[in-house]
Structure 1
């Protein structure tokens, strides 16, 4: 249920992307609480900005969720791992190297997250869909690991 709330919160953010397109957004959540949101023309820049914000404010990533609009490549997974964020979600896809690396690092990776639908690529043990999860995509058996 927290993942669905985070997706809805990200969607409801005022967004340059909605107005003009061509930017990526990245948000840091503690549960369903939005801690920080940024948009940038580069998906790496957006994630780096969140990492910098965490460092400047002494934020521990171990209980956080990182939600981004960019593809989850191995580089993006490495950045999240260095931030100690165990759960990474993207509205876009996950590359094979990103998936493999996240699996080796014990991270949870969700891709193609839109509305109430998403794919869990690895780390289903961290996901509890809650009693109201009705669609197939909301269940951990939709995990590919």
Structure 2
């Protein structure tokens, strides 16, 4: 195996701390401070960003930009999100050449020509019969309506958000990453970060597929805006609840309402807003 190339088996066993160390880099910058009377030279820690090109069964599939951490999970999650695979078992081998910027995936089945086209084809699809818009054909194939029976109290939601905020040393150092976690009503199971909010969610999807997790009654805790893209990613992961520190968009809420997903936003301090399917959260607040 070439230096810099990681097989799926060895990549998945790397501990999270080792994978996170490559997510930042040091950069010399010039900081202005009024009380110092000018520019001061300092070293700043910034979020790392790499471009990776996927080759699937020997064919170029897509190029993405991401943080160089948890790449095997992101690769599996991305392929599942795009409809190329249904489970991690569909991948025969996965080689990551970070130095050259390539991910090579060999699948146990042929890659359908329609799947390649779907990665860039924009379509209008029906979501639960209500004529909502899916952006990509792969969304139509892989987004699932939630049947989750999970229930959380508002206090549990606030606690999970605090746990997310305390989990990311890299975010505290750079301020340049989106954070996402998968958890139960009581605690977080897995934490992932990336420069792209969709990448962070793909990493969670890959984590759940590799671990063969039952995700229906899990929740996503998220630092970024609740966009339509985020809701669709959550639907692909299979969760029924998304908790976010930030604001939602109207299309995201329409999709969440149709897909049976509970969206709570602006979770800050001791307050939050529940926008869709409040029955999973609001019972305590209604007393």
Q: TM-score, normalising length from structure 1?
A: 0.85
Report Cα offsets for 1:78-116 as digits up to 9, x if no partner: 111111100001111111100000001111001111121
2:244 to 75, 81, 90: 90
Determine which structure has the larger strand proportion and give its number: 2
2:216 to 30, 54, 62: 62
Task: Give, in whole Å, the separation in 2 of the partners of 1:116 and 1:100.
Answer: 26
The runs of at least 4 consecutive aligned structure 1 residues that moved more than 3 Å come to none
Alignment of structure 1 residues 24-103 onto 2, 5 Å: 24-103=178-257
Structure 1, unpaired ranges of 5+: 131-138, 141-145
**Corresponding residue for 2:270?**
116
Task: Give, in whole Å, the separation in 1 of the partners of 2:193 and 2:229.
Answer: 18
Task: Give, in whole Å, the separation in 1 of the partners of 2:267 and 2:218.
Answer: 17
Task: Give, in whole Å, the separation in 1 of the partners of 2:219 and 2:156.
Answer: 10
Work out the number of aligned pairs and report it. 133
SS in structure 2 opposite 1:36?
strand
Using the TM superposition, give the Cα deviation of residue 128 of structure 1 relative to its aligned residue in structure 2, in angstroms: 4.4
Using the TM superposition, give the Cα deviation of residue 15 of structure 1 relative to its aligned residue in structure 2, in angstroms: 2.4
Looking at CA atoms only, which structure, 1 or 2, has the larger radius of gyration?
A: 2
Give the aligned CA root-mean-square deviation in angstroms. 1.6
Change (3 A) 1:129 1:17: farther
SS in structure 2 opposite 1:94?
coil
Q: Does 2:158 correspond to 1:17?
A: no
Task: Give, in whole Å, the separation in 1 of the partners of 2:168 and 2:261.
Answer: 29
Determine which structure has the larger helix proportion and give its number: 1
Using the TM superposition, give the Cα deviation of residue 129 of structure 1 relative to its aligned residue in structure 2, in angstroms: 6.3
